[in-house]
Amino acid sequence: MEKYVVGIDIGGQSTKLGIVDARGNILCQSVISSLQTRLDDFLDDLTRALEELIAKAGGKELIRGIGVGAPNGNYYKSSIEFAPNLKWGYDDSGNPMIIQLGKILSDRIGVPVAVTNDANAAAQGEMTYGVARGMKNFIMITLGTGVGSGIVINGQVLYGHDGFAGELGHTIAVRGGRPCNCGRVGCLETYTSAIGVARTAREFLANSEAPSLLRELDPERISSKDIYEAAEKGDALAVEIFEYTGKILGQSLADFVAFSAPEAIVLFGGLTKARKYIEEPILRHMNDNLLNIWKNKIRLEFSQLKDSDAAILGASALAWEL
């Protein structure tokens, strides 16, 4: 009897889950919101979605295990720890929590569960099924609600001694810059996540009188999608916003290259839809800031997998090891 696994990708806005077979085919999948403000509400929604999906696949006896990719997921402890972008990750006093997600889900569903960082899961999926197939050394950068990263060295995902290696979204991109949800100031995430790009737009609109389609929108509700759509209509300010974003990201990527000498850097996530506006500035500013030994040698790749597939497939790979 063929066995299946479940892959779950928990993001700041939504959580995607899918049933995966041994050949890497996603047989069925679904999505729920991640915007609940209470942990119990999120867990109840996730449990219902899992039970429905597992029933559709033929029942729990066919499921070998569940793999979860989540912000601040700890591979060693199968926990989520102090995740700033999960609204349900805070206690009643507003402090981020340690959530023993693996144990909670295993107790609820009745199958083993493993948890890892969402970007590490995406890196695993990309290495197995995507543009990084065959690569032994690369860095995965996920550009979504936050900025995550998965570092692969000699074909192995880097976890570090405590399970949290590779929090590149929380390296300092601008000293004395924007406050970050993590409590630090100037993190890369505050500039190159979808939320960060929207913050850039508000700053540009406030500090310039240049005409822009974005001025027709409520500044507090501007999204990265709005900026992309304006750029597509020839809006010069929107294009400038993406140029600035590419500059910040490219400079940071040059620093990342220095510690692992990757063959390529793979970009994944919603912001990559703006590839035509960010690719050239990222490459230009990365190469301008690289040591000569790496100039024009590091490839910039964009994931070809569907938004949900790389993370679901990467997370599901954990479950085969259970």
CATH numbers and ranges of domains, the chain? 4-123+308-320 (3.30.420.40), 134-302 (3.30.420.40)
CA distances from residue 177 to 44, 149, 172 in whole angstroms, order as listed: 38, 21, 9
Q: What is the pLDDT of residue 85?
A: 86
Mean pLDDT is lowest, of 118-132, 135-149, 168-182, 208-222, for 118-132
List CB contacts of 119: < 8 A, sequence separation 6 or more.
69, 140, 141, 142, 148, 149, 150, 166
Q: How far is CA 294 from the centre of its chain?
A: 26
Over range 240-247, report the average pLDDT: 98
Instruction: Say yes or no to pLDDT of 122 above 70.
Output: yes
Percentage of the chain exceeding pLDDT 70: 99
- What 3-state class would DSSP assign to 190? helix
State both tokens at 184: 């630090």
Instruction: Say yes or no to pLDDT of 80 above 80.
Output: yes
Over range 226-245, report the average pLDDT: 98
Instruction: Say yes or no to pLDDT of 306 above 90.
Output: no
Over range 43-64, report the average pLDDT: 96
Confidence of residue 263 (pLDDT cuts 50, 70, 90): very high
Neighbouring-strand partners of residue 67: 7, 114
Q: What is the pLDDT of residue 307?
A: 67
How buried is 207 (Cβ within 10 angstroms: 0-12 exposed, 13-18 middle, 19+ buried)? exposed
Percentage of the chain exceeding pLDDT 90: 86
Instruction: Say yes or no to pLDDT of 38 above 90.
Output: yes
What is the Cα–Cα distance from 316 to 124, expressed in whole angstroms? 10
Q: How, if at all, do strands 14-20 and 73-74 pair?
A: unpaired
What is the Cα–Cα distance from 160 to 150, expressed in whole angstroms? 12
pTM: 0.87
What is the Cα–Cα distance from 4 to 62, expressed in whole angstroms? 6
Over range 129-147, report the average pLDDT: 93
Token match 């047989």: residue?
27
Q: What is the pLDDT of residue 128?
A: 85
Q: What share of the chain is helix, strand, coil (3-state, %, to 5)?
A: 45, 20, 35
Q: How far is CA 150 from the centre of its chain?
A: 9
Identify which has the larger pLDDT, 188 or 311.
Answer: 188
- Name, of 9-13, 22-26, 249-253, the range with top average pLDDT: 249-253
Task: Give the pLDDT confidence of 84-116 residue by residue, as tens digits.
Answer: 889 999 999 999 999 999 999 999 999 999 999
What is the Cα–Cα distance from 315 to 322, expressed in whole angstroms? 12
Q: What is the pLDDT of residue 305?
A: 84
